[in-house]
Structure 1
């Protein structure tokens, strides 16, 4: 199990496998393993190189060419099958691309010459969305949409989900004034998705037909739109993983095949051919998976290998030894979402590069030689911040074209600042050239528009203000964005199995910035005095559990009780196991009247607290499951006959800034009145 560190928002793993200074997640031994890596590229100043290319272009346009254009020579192909295409290679340096042998390269050249326009037409149809979004976007349309994004002008449409089993709200936004931009492709199965031929058969076996919910989000995923999906569950997690992995694989294959095809054209070009092929980014990595645990990384790699048949898996044993553990360490009495997150290897500081060739899947490739980067937000941040602060390297994130964050709600329970840090360092202009051939870099990269071309997919069990801020700030895709929110019409409170009296107490909070101060004042002046008036019983203590979502609020409340008359215990995410056992025992036996319990302690351990007779929610938990489970502590006490139902009670302090959290618990039809009406006390039984 993860162990907390000194920072309230960071949880440290046992004996980290990699030192934070290893920014590329590779050791000296890994370099020995990389016998098929591309040759080292010369380091030079990227901007000087770029300026020179612009100067040269300008001279040709105004003065005309001073000498005949050099003839492009045909690629010299080695027989070895392990030399691969790299974004920094140009037509003169590339010898063998993507593991293609000399015979295969020659056959590809023959196909290029003989098939002709008919094959090109089919290829264009298959790559239509890829073509219009990444390869050759219309410059006028792109400029129009970028301007509207800068002015925050979005055309919106609420989609008719047509879902009977899971109602929800799906809102599509597009930075275009034209209604046709809001039109959506109908996607019912894999057959309706444009995939590379080598993926179709496996995709049909693994995914097949889309269910009702998947039909709502699939057009946005495969249409390169941003997606914020707030209805991820244990039940649909595996399917969502397969769908996003399929899309990521398809994008990598589209990009690689386009580069190989253009390489062949350049090698066959004559001296009079001035064709320009812009098909690359500054660096090779294109896909970034932000995951919560090493075991989650194993699951994603499993999904990729199900969808694409690789003949070889390099460093697989090393990867499994480091990342995989048996997923059976918890009993069935733990909640399903807890077991899904923490089963197996739950270390949350990691980063690893993965390289794909036509025949091989290679783990532990260096970042600059990787197609996909798997990392936790903490692991990626430490990789960037390691070493000399003046020489921090984040150029490997400069050409990320797809980000998939699988469990944003779990990331919230770590330190959300790590996620913000990662997104702030995506798609920045590189500090070094890394051997990049700028004549092959797409124009929108050079113009600094990559953040608006990048597709961002965020999956979460629920939405919060911080996740919504990420959506508004970093999910600004020119293709549009889709936000899906589950239906909370009735709320959790109507489905609780324990009929305990629940009282919601609203306090005044003028600003969300001063909300912690207003909350603490209300707790000290109203809630604590009501606890002191509770009748003492000779057979036990008061049995009051105070649930505090924020660790900083927990510290504040704990310190305020030091000089009080209350006997209390406390359990936070930083309390060691021995002190936890003592606190639970003394509280259950009545020695302590109060137990302070943090939201993160419940997230990471899901303790079953006994002796709970009354619950006070210092704040509304963001995860509605926590509310149900904590109220269940009282329900179990009543079932055991330790107190009567009349003695049990739940009090919840809330402000108008907790609308999203309240909506999930009391329901959409009630939250408006509870937030805005004059009354400040609301009872439920």
Structure 2
């Protein structure tokens, strides 16, 4: 649905959750749909000034110089498009097409029962093996049995638009392992949390998700255009009375959340390679604002770091993308876009502050039908509250009409049930409580949701050196009490080992602290408590600038500081090579298991190589509680984690 218009409708307030008839009365009757026509000649009348709409980037598009490759074409009107504007002339939709069964023509008896169960938070969990991955299949708790989707091994098994099928056939005839794993759930519109994303799989996952998003957009657009033709014939024949519901409130249908501008470039380039447009409008402006080919760090950085931070690593952006049959337009207005790309910070800034109700605008998210969250593990290292804020404002009934033809809006949109039809796809290298809560609180798909996760073999025996690794379990009564219990255990069990040692033995202790709040608490303890007044210390957090961090590393190497406090986000964003480490204390395990290997193994290995530490004398001490089960499983392995949480003993040694 294209909501471009030559005129504006009057504003009308709509309260979220209004029932079907009330919504029609408040919006349809007071804002009758105005027929729209393509303008072929300049009008002699003064045109009505349109109401400003939110920009899709922090720059003012009108002030930008015209790009040399900008394509000029007349503005498209969805109610006056000819058959040649179709992406494909032949749809061949049938009851086996997931687009048809989930969005276009779902069985009301089926989805009503499942939505009712979802509204009452009645879900049933099925754990089933799926290829080499564990599938945790969560379904609305109804009496019906819902089997796992049939396997999909190639594009031949998919119901694709003909244009996409032809363009993708040469590059993606057969799926790889990762694609075969997620394809049955992705293309059948199930909510998906995929916890096995790797750098090697990134391109194949981008290709598959881009193909799914484009297939959905093209089918939606072509269905609207074909129904326009049917309505035109019905208008000519007074005996026909058609009711065709094929739209949402606003045009944007796909939201893709990414951590950096460079990742946005990768996803956009994948989309270009899949749909092969004839023209790209404003591509030069996109390249100028999003591409950065300069090298910012040495090549010895880990592969995942290079993949995430190479190129333009700015985490403040939002971009609208609009599709026509031959052209892709960058920097389109949100209300005129088919796909919205954004970082969490960028999209939250676009929505506005809840403190100023007049300026806040999230109506462009009211009809989002597919959400793709890529590299969710990296987003966790940013401000996760922004992601939660975005999901809280998805699929809320709009406060303004935005030139919507309500006679074409699907009934479940009008009944405020669109969140039960939205598909959410989250791709992450690992699972965390935050991701699990996101799926629980904001994913209500009536078709069900699935978590795909491989068994963890652990990395405690994969360290590059031999070191004594001691895992100490402490009791924590509740999640909310866990920070206090952890700090109490640290001061009673770990700190005495530092103060009782002589000066030579205490030097070289790195304390790794994932949470910044815990970091501040421990830092204040070392600074103010008399128990550790003899222990000199330095600290490196994500807020430390480069000179400050360099000074702390230097003092730690020379022994001026015996203890160095180091946060997980500092390691994520900088990957410092810290020298002089003789023992490592994990105040809590990192979410990313790679960090454990780099710190426990890599830092101690460097100390052995520089003769600061005798071979095999490195020590690793880990504190954990029962609420660290996800982190612990990735480090020690699935087979060990149960015993370590339930056995009578609270200390476990590995060499």
Q: Between 329-338 and 347-356, report the one with greater CA deviation.
A: 329-338
Query: 5+ residue gaps in structure 1?
Result: 1-35, 60-71, 87-93, 113-118
Distance (Å, rounded) in 2 between the aligned partners of 1:661 and 1:360: 46
Q: Measured at CA, do residues 597 and 54 of structure 1 come closer, stay the same or move farther in structure 2, by a change above 3 Å?
A: closer
Q: For 1:127-526, what aligned pairs fall within 5 Å after superposition?
A: 128-163=97-132, 168-175=133-140, 177=142, 181-269=146-234, 270-326=237-293, 328-386=295-353, 389-391=356-358, 392-488=360-456, 490-526=457-493
- How far does residue 267 in structure 1 lie from its aligned partner after superposition? 0.4
Question: Secondary structure of 1:433's match?
Answer: coil
What is the CA-CA distance between 1:180 and the residue it aligns to?
A: 5.4
Moved more, 45-54 or 443-452: 45-54
Q: Does 1:549 align with 2:517?
A: no
Q: TM-score by structure 1 length?
A: 0.84
Tell me the distance in 2 between the aligned counterparts of 1:511 and 1:84: 57
| Deviation string, structure 1 residues 593-618 (Cα, Å, up to 9, x no partner) | 01010000000000010000111111
CA distance in 1, matches of 2:101, 2:11: 32
Partner in structure 2 of residue 3 of structure 1: none
Quick check: 133-142 or 341-350, which moved more? 133-142
Alignment match, 2:11: 44
Find out whether 1:104 has 2:72 as its counterpart.
no
- Residue 623 in structure 1 maps to residue 612 in structure 2: no
Kindly indicate whether the alpha-carbon contact (under 8 Å) linking 1:38 and 1:83 is maintained by their aligned counterparts in 2: no
1:83 is matched with which residue? 75
SS of 2:495's partner is: helix
2:14–2:26 CA contact under 8 A, matched in 1: no
| Whole-angstrom CA distance in 2 between matches of 1:342 and 1:592 | 31
Name the SS for the 1:346 alignment partner.
Answer: coil
Q: How many residues align?
A: 608
Q: Which residue of 1 aligns with 2:579?
A: 610
Separation in 1, partners of 2:331, 2:214 = 18
Give 1:67's aligned residue.
none
Name the CA distance, whole Å, in 1 between partners of 2:519 and 2:14.
Answer: 50
The 8 Å contact of residues 94 and 100 in structure 2, kept in 1 or not, is answered as no
Check 1:503–1:322 CA distance in 2 against 1; reply closer, same or farther (3 A cut). same
Q: CA deviation at 1:74?
A: 12
Counterpart CA distance in 2 for 1:82 and 1:246 is 27
Q: Cα–Cα, structure 1 residues 44 and 338, in superposed 2: closer, same or farther, change >3 Å? A: same
Tell me if the contact between 1:543 and 1:588 (Cα under 8 Å) persists in the aligned partners: yes
On the 8 A contact 1:328/1:344 being kept in 2, the answer is yes
Q: Deviations over 1:216-259 (max 9, x none)?
A: 21011111111100000000011001100110000000000000
CA distance in 2, matches of 1:54, 1:617: 58
| Maintained 8 Å contact 2:5/2:36 | no
- Tell me, in whole angstroms, the C-alpha distance in 2 between the residues paired with 1:372 and 1:447: 24
Q: Could you tell me how far 1:532 is from its partner in structure 2?
A: 1.5
Q: Is 2:496 the counterpart of 1:536?
A: no
- Alignment partner, residue 63 of structure 2: none
Alignment partner, residue 47 of structure 2: none
The structural deviation recorded for 1:657 is 0.7
Pair 1:665-2:635 in alignment? yes
With over 3 angstroms needed to count, the CA separation of the structure-2 counterparts of 1:85 and 1:154, relative to structure 1, is farther
Residue 173 of structure 1 contacts residue 182 of structure 1 at CA under 8 Å; is this kept in 2?
Answer: no
Q: Is the 8 A contact 1:144 1:176 kept in 2?
A: no
1:327 Cα deviation from its structure 2 partner: 6.5
SS in 2 for 1:338: helix
The superposition leaves residues 255-284 of structure 1 with CA deviations (integer Å, 9 ceiling, x where unpaired) of 000000000000011212121011111111
Match for residue 25 of structure 1?
none
Tell me, yes or no, if the aligned pair for 1:534 and 1:542 is still in contact at 8 Å: no
Deviations 1:619-675 (A, max 9, x none): 111111111100120122123322113542110111111011001001111111111
Aligned equivalents of 1:77, 1:197: Cα separation in 2: 31
User: Counterpart of 1:337 in 2: which secondary structure?
Assistant: helix
Residues 491 and 663 in structure 1, CA contact (< 8 A), matched pair in contact too? yes
Q: Give yes or no for contact 2:28–2:406 (8 Å, CA) kept in 1.
A: no
Cα distance change of structure 1 residues 85 and 478 upon mapping to structure 2, 3 Å threshold? farther
Confirm or deny: 8 A CA contact 1:500 1:635 kept in the other structure: no
Cα displacement (A) at 1:497: 2.1
Q: Distance in 2 between matches of 1:541 and 1:170?
A: 46
Instruction: Tell me if structure 1 keeps the 8 A contact 2:584–2:620.
Output: yes
Residue by residue over 1:471-517, the C-alpha shift from the partner in whole angstroms, topping out at 9 and shown as x without a partner, is 111122111212101211x3111222221101111111111101111
Q: Check 1:626–1:40 CA distance in 2 against 1; reply closer, same or farther (3 A cut).
A: farther
Distance in 1 of aligned mates of 2:506 and 2:646: 37
Tell which deviates more after alignment, 556-565 or 439-448. 556-565
| 1:437 Cα deviation after fit | 1.1
8 Å contact from structure 1 (residues 619, 654) kept in 2? yes
What SS does the aligned partner of 1:561 have? helix
Deviation at 1:470, TM superposition (A): 0.7
RMSD (Å) for aligned C-alpha atoms? 2.7
- d(CA) in 2 for partners of 1:339, 1:406: 16
SS state at 1:519 partner = helix
- Contact persistence 2:248–2:409 (CA under 8 A): yes
On the 8 A contact 1:127/1:254 being kept in 2, the answer is no
1:94-139 CA distances to partner (integer Å, 9 max, x unpaired)?
A: 33x3xx5xx837xx8xx99xxxxxx6xx612397211111012111
CA distance in structure 2 between the partners assigned to 1:147 and 1:428 by the alignment: 18
Q: 1:81 to 1:362 in 2, by over 3 A?
A: closer
Q: TM-score, normalised by structure 2?
A: 0.88
* Cα pair 2:5 2:403 within 8 Å, conserved: no
Equivalent pair of 1:126/1:195 in contact (CA under 8 Å): no
Preserved contact between residue 161 and residue 213 of structure 1 (Cα < 8 Å): no
Change in Cα spacing, 1:143 to 1:126, as seen in structure 2 (3 Å) is: closer
Question: Shift in Å at residue 42 of structure 1?
Answer: 1.9
User: Is structure 2 residue 643 aligned with structure 1 residue 676?
Assistant: no
Secondary structure of 2:430's match? coil
Cα deviation code 1:287-318 (max 9, x no counterpart): 00000000111111100110112121111111
Query: Secondary structure at 2:11's aligned position in 1?
Result: coil
Shift of 1:37: 5.9
Q: How far apart are 1:347 and its partner, in Å?
A: 0.5
The CA deviation at 1:586 is: 0.8
Distance 1:318 1:438, change over 3 A: same
